[in-house]
């Protein structure tokens, strides 16, 4: 099983990640992880923090001579901005008490976090609730992505909307154009309008949300399971996407728009064998977004997420003081105007983690060669039943007990 933990605060010394379950023998290096971290830091509308940090994950365990050992992988990301926050985030009680943050921020974890954990200062909550933690998830997701590449699985994302500006894209996006775009949008006209909308929001001391789409291609049939709620692949995907800061909605395939259509307009017809091409059991459409009954169905996984506007606003919203309950402007620290482009990269990372875990659950193996051999053996059984090739599993001879 692919598991990971992250630790660290936004303005603390750094972020730590432990990744467990990666088979031995997988090629992995720091440069591969750094490329994903750099993609996360890009995007028009980001704040000053991205100019300070140049995220790089140091591999401190679990890799030798460029290949994984099968033991836990430790990654460390330094927070370069910590030098400016050493007193505020000191491990020991400072001689001069630091200024407490008591002006609550609507849309943040401030109020419920303080009440849950018993603090009288917002700082301990906002430090861990910060989206800075997603850098750690992108690092863990890079390890998962490296594993998925061995299975031929490719994960990409692009921006569908920022504010009220929507991209007009038909069919497969131009992925090179997406990577070159400052807002990660394949529609050049929409790109310019998105940039203008971000500039206008910045001038007004406001923020913008939007919609991203993440796609995973070449995913084997049968990842996940129908037998228990917590093993359903679409449930795991939805949970992973919803865990990203600012995400308030998620859909797979046509999602919400399918709710107003008839069944004949929604479900994906299975094509006859002469129309399959290189992969078995192809569909005429992919409205379900690559999942059925809690399992992958062999089509491309397509997931969309709706992000609310960033809750930290230069033009502070009215709020209340934690100590007095009286009205006061909300606390403000530097922030982004729009994080939609970066959210796509984070979405890729969490989907990679879900799929890596599902592949290891299905195919197992302590060494990557064994895991891939198990995958190939399984795929050989996924053709038509009763024809040439492997017989159905239930027809195999078994020993009576």
* Spatial CA neighbour of 208 closest among 174, 228, 183: 183
Q: Which stretch of DSSP H or E encloses residue 118? A: none
Give, as one character, the DSSP assignment of residue 174: -
Start-to-end C-alpha separation, the chain = 31
Tell me: the pLDDT tens digits for 199-229? 999 999 999 999 999 999 999 999 999 999 9
Residues of the chain scoring pLDDT < 50: 389, 395-396, 398
pLDDT score, position 37: 96
Instruction: Tell me the β-bridge partners of 252.
Output: 303
Class in CATH terms, 3-253+288-377: alpha beta
Reading the block at residue 194, the tokens are 């998105």
Question: What distances in angstroms separate CA 230 from CA 5, 137, 189, 226, 239, one per listed residue?
Answer: 19, 21, 42, 9, 10
* pLDDT at site 331: 82
DSSP 301: E
Residue 328 dihedral angles phi and psi, to the nearest 5° = -165, 150
pLDDT recorded at residue 94? 81
- Domain assignments of the chain as residue spans, ordered by start: 3-253+288-377
pLDDT tens sequence across 141-197 = 999 999 999 999 999 999 999 999 999 998 899 999 999 999 999 999 999 999 999
d(CA 321, CA 103): 5
* The model's pTM: 0.93
Task: Quote the longest CA-to-CA distance of the chain.
Answer: 79
């Amino acid at each position: 099983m692919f598991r990971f933990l992250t630790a660290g605060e936004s303005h603390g010394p750094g972020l730590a990640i432990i990744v467990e379950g990666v088979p031995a023998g997988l090629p992995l290096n720091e440069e591969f992880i750094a490329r994903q971290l750099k993609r996360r830091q890009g995007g028009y509308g980001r704040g000053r923090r991205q100019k300070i940090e140049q995220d790089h994950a140091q591999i401190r365990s679990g890799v030798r001579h460029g290949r994984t050992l099968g033991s836990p992988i430790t990654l460390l990301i330094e927070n370069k901005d910590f030098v400016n926050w050493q007193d505020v985030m000191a491990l020991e009680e400072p001689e001069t008490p630091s200024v407490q943050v008591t002006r609550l921020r609507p849309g943040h974890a401030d109020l419920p976090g303080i009440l849950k954990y018993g603090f009288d200062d917002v700082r301990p909550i906002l430090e861990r609730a910060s989206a800075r933690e997603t850098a750690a998830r992108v690092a863990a997701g890079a390890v998962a992505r490296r594993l998925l590449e061995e299975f031929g699985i490719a994960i990409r994302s692009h921006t569908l909307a920022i504010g009220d500006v929507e991209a007009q894209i038909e069919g497969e996006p131009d992925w090179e154009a997406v990577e070159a775009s400052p807002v990660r949008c394949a529609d050049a006209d929409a790109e310019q309008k998105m940039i203008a909308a971000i500039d206008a929001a910045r001038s007004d001391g406001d923020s913008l949300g939007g919609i991203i789409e993440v796609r995973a291609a070449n995913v084997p049939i049968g990842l996940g399971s129908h037998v228990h709620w917590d093993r359903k692949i679409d449930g795991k995907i939805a949970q992973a996407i919803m865990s990203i800061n600012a995400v308030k909605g998620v859909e797979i395939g046509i999602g919400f728009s399918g709710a107003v259509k008839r069944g004949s307009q929604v479900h994906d017809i299975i094509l006859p064998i002469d129309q399959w091409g290189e992969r078995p059991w192809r569909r005429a459409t992919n409205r379900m977004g690559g999942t059925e009954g809690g399992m992958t169905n062999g089509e491309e996984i397509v997931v969309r997420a709706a992000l609310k506007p960033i809750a930290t606003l230069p033009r502070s919203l009215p709020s209340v003081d934690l100590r007095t309950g009286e009205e006061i402007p909300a606390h403000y620290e530097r922030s982004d105007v729009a994080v939609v482009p970066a959210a796509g990269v984070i979405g890729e990372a969490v989907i990679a983690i879900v799929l890596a875990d599902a592949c290891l659950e299905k195919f197992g193996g302590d060494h990557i060669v064994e895991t891939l051999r198990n995958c190939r053996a399984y795929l050989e059984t996924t053709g038509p039943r009763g024809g040439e090739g492997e017989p159905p599993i239930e027809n195999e001879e078994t020993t009576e007990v």
